[in-house]
Amino acid sequence: MKHLTILVPDVQTANSTIACIVGAYQIFTGANNYWEKKGNNPLFKIETAGVAEESSFINGLLTIKPQVNISSLKKTDLILIPSLNPEFKTALKGNVLLIDWFREQYKSGAEVASMCTGAFMLASSGLLEKRSCSIHWNSADNFRSLFPGVHLKTEKLITDEHGIYTNGGGYSFLNLLLYLIEKYYDRETAIYCSKIFQVEIDRQTQSAFTIFTGQKSHGDDVVIQAQKYMEDNFYEKISVEDLSKRFAVGRRNFDRRFIKATGNTPIEYLQRVKIESAKKAFETTRKTINEVMYEVGYSDVKAFREIFRKLTGISPLDYKNKYNKDIGNGIYS
């Protein structure tokens, strides 16, 4: 029988930490039960593990007593790291011990998966260096500044590299659990869990859920001015050459500074601003695809559709239908 360890941190936790712990325990237990009903032995022994006798969550509203202390766990096969406080800066106290432990377990052959902002703890171990990682889009800027050597893929719902798994934000950790169940059990068991727990299976992207706000905590005043100009005038024709001249910076230097500060090229940033405005229009107005397209500064329908799909994962029409179903009931009339 394999061993599954669900970590229970005692510091730097968030309200979502307990949801990840309980959700993972429940869904893997459900997979084990179904596996047994098919005539198999349970695949995993599932245990919660930590460094403290108990951990408190949601301002003391709930507590969890880990079933085992990590010091007594000499061997495990799969480790799940729950979400943490998104204001994470550096690992503290008990989390340092957890990091040291799962790093050694990984070296001994265990696989490790982080749920949402649990990626901060995973990255602190060094195991994500030069590897892909997903995280909640709202924590991406902080993560990028702390771990520049990690290849952040916020558009992806799940990453899977060399026995290390990460996933996007919120309750999408449930999709990661289904992914792992299919990988360790089989497709049939994953589908069963999907139906029992009513979690959509095979989701690949979190792009449609992203709200683009732009990275502005970088401290480059020229880039901040350029960002503000693009956000205020995105519907006009703006070239990078015009921007560099406007702010008296050479074109090559402007590109370099902009990418370093925001993680996007100026063109990519402008596209994201335009598409974010288009998304809001689709969500809250009766405007047609073409009307919105022209308002955000596009004149080519094909180009608009391609860029919209690239940044959100779905077409403009699908996005409008997904998020604007109440318009037909007269809410915005």
Q: What is the pLDDT of residues 237-293, one digit of tens each?
A: 999 999 999 999 999 999 999 998 888 899 999 999 999 899 989 988 889 999 999
User: Model-level pTM greater than 0.85?
Assistant: no
CATH superfamily of 2-207: Class I glutamine amidotransferase (GATase) domain (3.40.50.880)
Q: Are 24 and 176 in contact (CB under 8 A)?
A: no
User: Within 10 Å of residue 107's Cβ, how many Cβ atoms?
Assistant: 9
Q: How confident is the model at residue 205 (pLDDT cuts 50, 70, 90)?
A: low
Which residues of the chain form CATH 3.40.50.880?
2-207
Residue 244, CA distances (Å) to 54, 63, 221, 267 in order:
56, 55, 14, 12
d(CA 87, CA 90) in angstroms, rounded, equals: 9
Q: What is the mean pLDDT of residues 310-330?
A: 79
d(CA 213, CA 277) in angstroms, rounded, equals: 11
59 dihedral zone (left: phi>0; alpha: psi -120 to 50; beta): left
The residue assigned the tokens 């204001």 is: 87
Return the SS3 of 183: helix
d(CA 280, CA 292) in angstroms, rounded, equals: 10
Tell me the pLDDT of the chain averaged across its residues: 90
d(CA 105, CA 103) in angstroms, rounded, equals: 5
| Token digits of residue 277 | 């405005």
| Token digits of residue 16 | 């979502």
48, pLDDT greater than 70: yes
d(CA 8, CA 263) in angstroms, rounded, equals: 33
Q: Among 230-239, 259-268, 323-332, which stretch is predicted with the lowest mean pLDDT?
A: 323-332
Long-range CB pairs of 300-306, under 8 A, 24+ apart, other chains included: 304/278
Q: Are strands 44-50 and 68-69 parallel, antiparallel or unpaired?
A: parallel
Residue 90, CA distances (Å) to 44, 87, 102, 134 in order:
32, 9, 17, 18
DSSP code at position 234: T
328, pLDDT greater than 70: no
Please state which architecture CATH assigns to domain 221-329: Orthogonal Bundle (1.10)
| Token digits of residue 191 | 């589908």
What are the tens digits of pLDDT across the range 105-141?
999 999 999 999 999 999 999 999 999 999 998 898 8
Residue 97: name the closest of 78, 68, 69 by CA. 69
d(CA 55, CA 117) in angstroms, rounded, equals: 18
Which residues of the chain form CATH 1.10.10.60?
221-329
| Token digits of residue 70 | 């990590």
331, pLDDT greater than 50: no
Q: Are 50 and 12 in contact (CB under 8 A)?
A: no
